[in-house]
């Protein structure tokens, strides 16, 4: 076993009241891929900051190998003093580091380096911070919520980059799929202490449940032992006094241990407050279009959303997800086409930008909108401190300013507020950001049990797979051109359908190519005659290719019209896949015919000299 390059042992830290860290530890060896997990507010980010040397523990041992380099990705990067993103990223390099790697990373993260750091969006700021910490290729790379505000293509690129990195990794993330792909060890921070599992996150939840079950059994045994000792105390004091006093002291110690045991943090008790039932048809969009300048954001797109649907909206940053969402909910008018909203709609929105959070506001004031000490939840008056406890906030936090909350606690607070509002249409824009695994499980249950309609924007693949009934994604994810397609099921279902379409297209193309070669006797269509003039076959092709191209264009248009039906895949997926494959094949044929016609025309001009 290699010696550790970082070791934290018996770390103690308290901000008053219950200790945040009470004997926590962390050991990192070369090549480790550790995910650090725990409830919001359990001290994960604090422990990581202690390891990185940003926060000092009150007591405990901290060892960092003198020659090792550490880079820490914080949740809120500080851009003060930097005129460009390039300058900010290069400031993270050490002596001997390759400055070209900054350029490489910025390019792959979708940044030029010349951006003004003060004008970056949340996603751009996270990308710039990633470039800064990844560029030096440190011995230890500590990433606190690296996937927040990143789109799916960037998350998948980051997975590949980290998989081939030589740095030891310590990760905090709410993204299950990301942790499962990267981690090989798991450190669980719970009630101020840490436990380590030398297996990746995929095995964590089963192990955690087993640990808690064993702990519950031990507490039960301890309770039974105390009962037996109390029975002896009442009815069996007959031995020598010295022995009795020692046994009485042991009983007092058992009682103190039993009373002092702090069980695992409770689970959130919550459900969405549902309003009146909406009409059966919630949203109908008919061939809507939105164009900004010369860029198509939404090409002709049609969809019918019914009561009870849960629609996922995905795509790379800048593809137009927010624009499409605003059009579907009536906040933005389309350039062409019509959007009709159903009847009796009560819309509740969770905004990813957390714009309505005033850092100086208190938790109680935020939850009640300043209207006293009570709020109405599912038709019942509830005191704000009682409602806060449902979301794992302590009553003494009622007067706490929001600025004192962690990122995860802020996300949980916003979730508490939106769940209290009556609604029958939930709009969730990046709802999973900063939430811990247990709160994500709760949100999943809320969405699954919600009788109204849900439209959510998310880059969390696991959450999409567990919740949505259909997924809207760009037709061309690598270069969005405004065309959107609705797929049945979640993210994995969408990938399977796309693969099915691609496989079918390749099969049809291969069969057509073989057929064409057989018909031509295996000779290339563009072979020249030996007599210095076009052959009869070449002349025929030159005259008829334009007609064939026009015919293919009409067939493409006809298939596009059929595929515009948003329910086609649900009703007949085989036909949908067949049409898509045929359309792709026809487009390839048009390109091939154009090239062949151009070659023949150039050959004709050359021969006629």
Query: Contact at 8 Å (CB) between 368 and 416?
Result: no
Give the Cα separation of 249 and 334 in Å (integer).
78
Which residue in 153, 164, 163 sits closest to 127, CA to CA? 153
Over 80: is that where the pLDDT of 526 sits? Answer: no
Q: Tokens 């070659």 label which residue?
A: 599
Q: Which residue has the higher pLDDT, 245 or 282?
A: 282
Least confident residue range of 132-146, 281-295, 559-573: 559-573
Q: Which residue has the higher pLDDT, 15 or 450?
A: 450
Q: In the prediction, which pLDDT does 72 show?
A: 96
Q: Residue 100: enclosing H or E segment and its boundaries?
A: helix 100-108
Question: What value does the mean pLDDT of the chain take?
Answer: 84
CA 538 from centroid of its chain's CA atoms? 55
Q: In the prediction, which pLDDT does 65 show?
A: 93
Of the pLDDT bands very low, low, confident and very high (cuts 50, 70, 90), residue 336 is very high
Q: Which residue has the higher pLDDT, 294 or 519?
A: 294
pLDDT digits (tens, 9 = 90+) for 564-585: 776 776 677 778 778 877 877 8
Q: In the prediction, which pLDDT does 588 show?
A: 80
Over 60: is that where the pLDDT of 530 sits? Answer: no
Q: In the prediction, which pLDDT does 546 show?
A: 87
Give the Cα separation of 557 and 255 in Å (integer).
79
Q: In the prediction, which pLDDT does 226 show?
A: 67
- How many other CB atoms sit within 10 Å of the CB of residue 496? 12
Q: In the prediction, which pLDDT does 339 show?
A: 94
In 181-272, DSSP assigns E strands to: 185-190, 193-197
CA-derived radius of gyration, the chain: 31
Q: What mean pLDDT is predicted for residues 503-513?
A: 73
Dihedral angle, C-alpha 192, 198, 153, 313, nearest 10 °:
-60
Q: In the prediction, which pLDDT does 242 show?
A: 45
In 307-433, DSSP assigns E strands to: 310-313, 336-341, 347-350, 374-377, 380-383, 425-429
Which of 72-76, 122-126, 331-335 has maximum average pLDDT?
A: 331-335
Name the β-bridge partners of 141. 71, 169
Q: Which residue has the higher pLDDT, 347 or 258?
A: 347
Over 50: is that where the pLDDT of 239 sits? Answer: no
In 465-532, DSSP assigns E strands to: 470-474, 484-488
In the DSSP assignment, the letter for residue 387 is: H
Over 90: is that where the pLDDT of 302 sits? Answer: yes
Please give the structure tokens belonging to residue 15: 């901000």
Query: Contact at 8 Å (CB) between 419 and 341?
Result: no
pTM for the predicted model, two decimal places: 0.70
In the DSSP assignment, the letter for residue 522 is: T
Give the Cα separation of 579 and 55 in Å (integer).
59
Query: Contact at 8 Å (CB) between 57 and 31?
Result: no
Q: ∠ at Cα 330 (325, 334), nearest 5°?
A: 80
Q: 309: helix, coil or strand?
A: coil
Q: In the prediction, which pLDDT does 181 show?
A: 94
Q: What mean pLDDT is predicted for residues 294-320?
A: 91
Range 281-362+400-489 has CATH code 3.60.15.10 = no
pLDDT digits (tens, 9 = 90+) for 171-229: 999 899 999 999 999 999 988 899 999 999 999 989 988 888 887 787 777 777 767 76
- How many other CB atoms sit within 10 Å of the CB of residue 196? 13
Over 80: is that where the pLDDT of 355 sits? Answer: no
Please give the structure tokens belonging to residue 176: 């299950």
SS (H, E, C) 113-137: CCCCHHHCCHHHHHHHHHHHHHCCC
Q: ∠ at Cα 208 (202, 214), nearest 5°?
A: 145
Q: Tokens 């600025």 label which residue?
A: 403
Q: In the prediction, which pLDDT does 380 show?
A: 81
The share of the chain scoring above pLDDT 70, in percent, equals 88
């Amino acid at each position: 076993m290699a010696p550790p390059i970082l070791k934290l042992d018996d770390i103690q830290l308290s901000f008053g009241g219950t200790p945040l860290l009470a004997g926590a530890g962390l050991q990192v060896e070369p090549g480790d891929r550790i995910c650090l997990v725990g409830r919001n507010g359990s001290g994960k980010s604090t422990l990581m900051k202690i390891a990185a040397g940003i926060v000092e523990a009150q007591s405990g041992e901290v060892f960092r190998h003198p020659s090792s380099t550490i880079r820490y990705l914080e949740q809120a990067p500080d851009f003060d003093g930097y005129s460009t993103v390039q300058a900010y990223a290069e400031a993270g390099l050490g002596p001997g580091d390759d400055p070209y790697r900054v350029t490489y990373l910025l390019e792959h993260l979708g940044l030029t380096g010349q951006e003004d750091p003060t004008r970056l969006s949340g996603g751009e700021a996270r990308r710039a911070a990633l470039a800064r910490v990844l560029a030096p290729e440190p011995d230890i790379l500590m990433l606190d919520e690296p996937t927040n505000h990143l789109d799916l293509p960037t998350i998948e690129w980051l997975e590949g980059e980290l998989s081939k990195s030589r740095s030891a990794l310590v990760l905090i993330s709410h993204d299950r799929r990301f942790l499962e792909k990267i981690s090989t060890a798991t450190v669980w921070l719970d009630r101020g202490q840490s436990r380590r599992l030398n297996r990746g996150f995929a095995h964590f939840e089963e192990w955690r449940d087993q640990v808690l079950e064993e702990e519950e059994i031990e507490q039960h045994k301890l309770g039974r032992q105390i009962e037996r000792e109390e029975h002896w105390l009442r009815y069996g004091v007959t031995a020598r006094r010295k022995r009795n006093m020692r046994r009485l002291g042991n009983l007092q110690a058992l009682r103190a241990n039993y009373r002092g045991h702090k069980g695992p943090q409770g689970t959130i008790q919550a459900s969405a407050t549902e309003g009146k039932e909406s009409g059966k048809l919630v949203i109908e969009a008919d061939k809507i279009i939105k164009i900004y300048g010369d860029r198509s954001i939404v090409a002709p797109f049609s969809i019918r959303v019914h009561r009870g649907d849960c629609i996922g909206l995905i795509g790379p940053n800048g593809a137009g997800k927010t624009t499409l969402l605003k059009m579907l909910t009536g906040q933005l008018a389309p350039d062409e086409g019509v959007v009709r909203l159903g009847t009796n709609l009560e819309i509740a929105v969770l905004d990813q930008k957390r714009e309505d959070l005033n850092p100086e506001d208190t938790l109680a004031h935020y939850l009640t909108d300043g209207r006293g000490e009570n709020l109405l939840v599912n038709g019942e008056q509830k005191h704000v401190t009682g409602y806060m406890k449902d979301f794992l906030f302590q009553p003494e936090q009622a007067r706490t300013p929001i600025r004192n909350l962690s990122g995860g606690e802020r996300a949980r607070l916003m979730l508490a507020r939106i769940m209290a509002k009556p609604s029958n249409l939930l709009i969730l824009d990046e709802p999973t950001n900063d939430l811990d695994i247990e709160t994500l499980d709760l949100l999943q249950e809320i969405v699954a049990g919600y009788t109204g309609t849900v439209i959510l924007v998310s880059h969390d693949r696991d959450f999409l797979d567990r919740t949505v009934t259909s997924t809207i994604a760009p037709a061309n994810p690598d270069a969005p051109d405004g065309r959107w397609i609705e797929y049945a099921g979640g993210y994995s279902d969408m990938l399977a359908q796309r693969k099915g379409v691609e496989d079918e297209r390749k099969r049809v193309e291969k069969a057509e190519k073989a057929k064409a070669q057989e018909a031509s006797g295996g000779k290339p269509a563009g072979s020249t005659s030996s007599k210095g003039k076009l052959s009869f076959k070449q002349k025929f092709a030159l005259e008829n290719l334009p007609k064939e191209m026009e015919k293919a264009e009409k067939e493409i248009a006809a298939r596009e019209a059929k595929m515009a039906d948003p329910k086609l895949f649900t009703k007949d997926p085989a036909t949908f896949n067949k049409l898509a494959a045929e359309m792709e094949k026809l487009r390839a044929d048009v390109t091939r015919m154009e090239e062949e016609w151009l070659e023949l025309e150039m050959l004709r001009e050359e021969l006629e000299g």
